[in-house]
């Protein structure tokens, strides 16, 4: 069941105040929560990731200037254990928005695409998905425009991956047509809304004349780093606001002036990319930032690496423990995914100091969960399934200027090899950005566009897309596309995949100079496992009364005995 509610008064925020909450109750699977209160508490990781999936599918289609608080709630009422409810939730949320009076340029349709035995499988069941080398979710609008991509793959070849995207976009049209028929018969008329108030044309021209040339100088100064560039732009913003206060007699809303300045700054930044074919840090459009790698930084750690790309730096550590330390799944996730526990998991941490800020340090946020899940998807296919220990890979972002999740894939691959974890091949990730020109909201007929390899934070903020792709030299293991405009033509998506694939191979070559294969020589602190067969007639004596011998062994030696049930 999906509901959508919107306030009738606008909020002062300059971004779309959209909140999506997906909840899957244990009762939907015929279970009772196992916590002390026996009721649902905070959202689980699966619920947060599904909420983000729905949000990213819907947000690009809200009209420019829409600033009304909107909440979409998706409640899972029943689950059959055959189909994952995330795709159904996207389509249900799309239908709810289409039927409502909330201004929205939808609908969107979503499908899951699998690839098994060299054949495309649309909306595979859980059993079919377990045999597939691809788990791709595609959200698209009419006219075959892509608004969201999310994929996990077992090193799928590029040509097969592109084939799956095309098939998914085509199948989305059937869902869109069904929602449009529903909207035609039962939909409400879309209400008019007041876009964010902007200053008069005279004020806007004054802002442009006072700031444009100075902004051009800043964005063309390739000696700037992230901090100095931000400070220079901030100084121009403050100066422009002060001068406007003295130049105009009428009251000038500071928030509106700041918003207009940001618009001029964005227009200037984007136009320079088209004019110069050079980015603000002096790189060409397809050039990578400088990369450096280190491994085995601290001897007490099972595995560690430091990966730096430009001003993005991540410190990755690997901890190995007994199989008993595997992450246990909740009842609904277990039913929909068929996974009872995970013996490899990745935790991503993004502290405030990574961007020179002061912030709250507490429970993991939605963004951190999403980035960690993406990096885990990128690395999971290369990790050996027969490894006898539970693997916890932790990535702490020490400095961030764009694409820290893809840096986590690179650093995580090195840390795993340093820890002696068998991996099939090194993996790396990269983010591709987009600067485009189009009229109105017609992104189908783009006038021009530029794809940017290995984007900076400012290029992500000013641009139209954050297209993250991870994989090995052989194929693709993960993809996440955050698209900020009302859909991308398939041609642009195909070019982005190709550009990311080329960059990924270059990054792996650089990483291989530091470490190209899993460490063969064991570290002194590496855990040891040994398998012993206890005859059935001696098991009771071996275990002791109530497992007393096993418990004493753990206390006295630290050795864990598992698999004796």
pLDDT of residue 34: 80
pLDDT of residue 198: 67
DSSP states along 326-350: SEEPPHHHHHHH---EESEEEEEE-
269 and 364 share one domain = no
Locate 258 and state its tokens.
């700041």
Of 155, 186, 217, the one marking the end of a domain is 186
pLDDT of residue 563: 66
506 and 545 share one domain = no
| Cα 270 to Cα 266, 448, 555, distances in angstroms | 6, 12, 63
pLDDT of residue 255: 78
pLDDT of residue 390: 93
Residue 181 domain-assigned (yes or no): yes
466 and 493 share one domain = yes
Residue range of the domain that includes 264? 201-276
pLDDT of residue 202: 79
Residues 6+ positions from 557 with CB-CB distance below 8 Å = none
pLDDT of residue 524: 82
365 and 447 share one domain = yes
333 and 451 share one domain = yes
pLDDT(13) > 80? no
Residue 523 domain-assigned (yes or no): no
pLDDT(377) > 90? yes
Residue 517 domain-assigned (yes or no): no
Specify the DSSP element, H or E, that contains 312: strand 312-321
Residue 520 domain-assigned (yes or no): no
Dihedral in degrees, nearest 10, Cα atoms 463, 479, 393, 407: -40
Residue scoring higher pLDDT (167 or 555): 167
**What is the DSSP secondary structure assignment for residue 500, as one 8-state letter?**
H
Residue 335 domain-assigned (yes or no): yes
476 and 364 share one domain = yes
Q: In angstroms, rounded to a whole number, what is the distance separating the alpha carbons of residues 111 and 174?
A: 10
Neighbours of 385 (CB within 10 A): 9
What CATH number should be reported for the domain holding residue 445?
Answer: 3.30.230.70
pLDDT of residue 81: 81
400 and 546 share one domain = no
Residue 521 domain-assigned (yes or no): no
114 and 231 share one domain = no
Looking up tokens 């909330």 gives 102
Backbone phi, psi, residue 435, to 5°: -120, 120
Residues 6+ positions from 251 with CB-CB distance below 8 Å = none
pLDDT digits (tens, 9 = 90+) for 477-523: 999 999 999 999 999 999 999 999 999 999 999 999 999 999 888 88
331-367 burial code (b ≥16 CB/10 A, e <16): bbbbbbeeeeebbbbbbbbbeeebbeeeeeeeeeeee
Residue 133 domain-assigned (yes or no): yes
pTM: 0.92
**β-strand pairing of 303-309 with 291-295:** antiparallel
**What Rg do the C-alpha atoms of the chain give, in angstroms?**
26
pLDDT digits (tens, 9 = 90+) for 57-77: 999 999 988 889 999 999 999
Average confidence score pLDDT of the chain: 92
| Cα 439 to Cα 145, 443, 444, 445, 509, distances in angstroms | 16, 8, 10, 8, 41
pLDDT of residue 200: 73
| Cβ pair 518, 414 in contact under 8 A | no
Nearest to residue 555, comparing CAs of 547, 533, 529? 547
Nearest to residue 426, comparing CAs of 514, 359, 316, 490? 514
pLDDT digits (tens, 9 = 90+) for 19-64: 999 999 888 888 888 878 888 888 989 999 999 999 999 999 999 8
Give residue 251's pLDDT band: very low, low, confident or very high (50, 70, 90): low
The total of structural domains in the chain comes to 4
């Amino acid at each position: 069941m999906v509901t959508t509610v919107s306030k009738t008064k606008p909020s002062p925020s300059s971004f779309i105040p959209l909140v999506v909450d997906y909840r899957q109750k244990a009762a939907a699977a015929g279970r009772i929560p196992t916590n002390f209160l026996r009721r649902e508490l905070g959202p689980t990781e699966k619920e947060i990731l599904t909420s983000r999936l729905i949000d990213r599918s819907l947000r690009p289609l809200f009209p420019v200037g829409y600033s009304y608080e909107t909440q979409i709630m998706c409640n899972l009422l029943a689950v059959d254990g055959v189909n994952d409810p995330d795709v159904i939730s996207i389509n249900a949320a799309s239908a709810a928005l289409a039927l409502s009076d909330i201004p929205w340029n939808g609908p969107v349709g979503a499908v899951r695409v699998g690839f098994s035995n060299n054949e495309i499988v649309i909306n595979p069941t859980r059993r079919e998905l377990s045999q597939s080398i691809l788990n791709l979710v595609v959200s698209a609008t009419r006219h075959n425009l892509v608004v969201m991509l999310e994929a996990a793959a077992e090193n799928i070849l590029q040509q097969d991956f592109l084939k799956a995207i095309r098939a998914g976009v085509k199948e989305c049209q059937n869902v869109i047509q069904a929602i449009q028929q529903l909207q035609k018969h039962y939909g409400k008329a879309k209400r008019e809304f007041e876009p964010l108030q902007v200053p008069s044309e005279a004020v806007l021209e004054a802002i442009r004349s006072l700031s444009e040339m100075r902004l051009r100088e800043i964005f063309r100064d390739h000696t700037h780093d992230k901090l100095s560039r931000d400070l220079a732009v901030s100084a121009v913003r403050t100066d422009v606001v002060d001068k406007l206060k003295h130049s105009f007699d009428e009251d000038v809303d500071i928030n509106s002036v700041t918003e207009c300045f940001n618009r001029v700054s964005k227009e200037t930044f984007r136009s320079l990319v088209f004019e110069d074919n050079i980015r603000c840090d002096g790189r060409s459009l397809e050039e990578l930032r400088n990369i450096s790698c280190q491994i085995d930084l601290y001897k007490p750690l099972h595995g560690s690496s430091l990966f730096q790309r430009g001003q993005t730096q991540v410190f990755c550590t690997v901890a190995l423990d007994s199989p008993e330390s595997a992450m246990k799944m909740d009842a609904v996730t277990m039913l929909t995914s068929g996974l009872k526990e995970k013996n490899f998991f990745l935790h991503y941490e993004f502290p405030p100091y990574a961007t020179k800020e002061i912030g709250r340090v507490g429970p993991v946020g939605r963004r951190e969960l999403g980035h960690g899940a993406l990096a885990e998807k990128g690395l999971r296919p290369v990790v050996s399934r027969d490894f006898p220990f539970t693997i916890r890979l932790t990535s702490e972002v020490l400095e961030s200027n764009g694409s820290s999740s893809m840096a986590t894939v690179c650093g995580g691959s090195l840390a795993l090899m340093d820890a002696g974890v068998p991996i099939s091949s090194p993996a790396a990730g990269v983010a591709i950005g987009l600067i485009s020109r189009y009229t109105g909201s017609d992104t189908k007929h783009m006038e021009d566009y530029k794809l940017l390899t290995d984007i900076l934070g400012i290029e992500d903020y000013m641009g139209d897309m954050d297209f993250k792709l991870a994989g090995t030299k052989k194929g693709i293991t993960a993809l996440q596309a955050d698209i900020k405009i009302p859909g991308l033509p398939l041609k642009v998506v195909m070019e982005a995949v190709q550009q990311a694939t080329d960059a990924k191979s270059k990054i792996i070559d650089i990483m291989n100079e530091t470490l190209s294969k899993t460490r063969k020589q064991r570290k002194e602190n590496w855990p040891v496992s040994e398998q012993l067969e206890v005859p059935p007639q001696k098991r009771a004596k071996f275990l002791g009364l109530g497992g007393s011998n096993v418990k004493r062994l753990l206390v006295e030696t630290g050795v864990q005995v598992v698999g004796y049930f």
